[in-house]
């Protein structure tokens, strides 16, 4: 495969969409390779890049089955359990902390 066509931000031709735009249309890339990319220049860093897929090659999003729904609920529930105190935090624990707020800053919890 050759080099990807590069378009400036908001100047991509019709028929291309980003992953999020495909999802909003109820589509998924469906195994196709990236067809093009958008670049938005920035002053002090490299350009922002967004990958584009062909809409005509996109496939419909797979339907949510009861088994997939159950697996997703189980995975989300596991993300709420603190590995330190093994309690449900009531929110998804940030990976940057790796534990609930009470375990991450116990001195702040005692002062409150």
pLDDT digits (tens, 9 = 90+) for 53-107: 999 999 999 999 999 999 999 999 999 999 999 999 999 999 998 888 888 887 7
pTM for this entry: 0.67
Share the mean pLDDT of the chain: 90
Condensed to tens digits (0 to 9), the pLDDT of residues 30-68 reads 999 999 999 999 999 999 999 999 999 999 999 999 999
Is pLDDT above 60 for 110? Answer: no
pLDDT at residue 112 in the model = 53
Q: Above 70 in pLDDT, residue 2?
A: no
* Amino acid 62: pLDDT: 92
**How far is the C-alpha of 86 from the C-alpha of 107, rounded, in Å?**
19
Query: Rounded distance, CA 72 to CA 70, Å?
Result: 5
Residue 1: per-residue pLDDT: 52
Residue in 73, 74, 72, 97 with CA at minimum distance from that of residue 85: 97
Sequence-ordered list of residues with C-beta below 8 angstroms from that of 65, at least 6 positions apart, any chain: none
Task: Give pLDDT, residue 33.
Answer: 95
């Amino acid at each position: 495969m050759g080099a990807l066509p590069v378009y400036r931000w908001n100047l991509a031709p019709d028929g291309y969409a980003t992953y999020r735009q495909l999802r909003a249309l109820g589509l998924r890339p469906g195994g196709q390779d990236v067809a093009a990319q958008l670049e938005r220049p920035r002053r002090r860093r490299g350009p922002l890049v967004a990958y584009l897929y062909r809409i005509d090659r996109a496939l419909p999003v797979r339907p949510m089955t009861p088994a997939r729904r159950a697996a997703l609920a189980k995975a989300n529930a596991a993300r709420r359990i603190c590995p330190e105190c093994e309690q449900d935090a009531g929110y998804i624990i940030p990976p940057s902390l790796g534990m609930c707020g009470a375990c991450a800053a116990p001195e702040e919890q005692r002062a409150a």
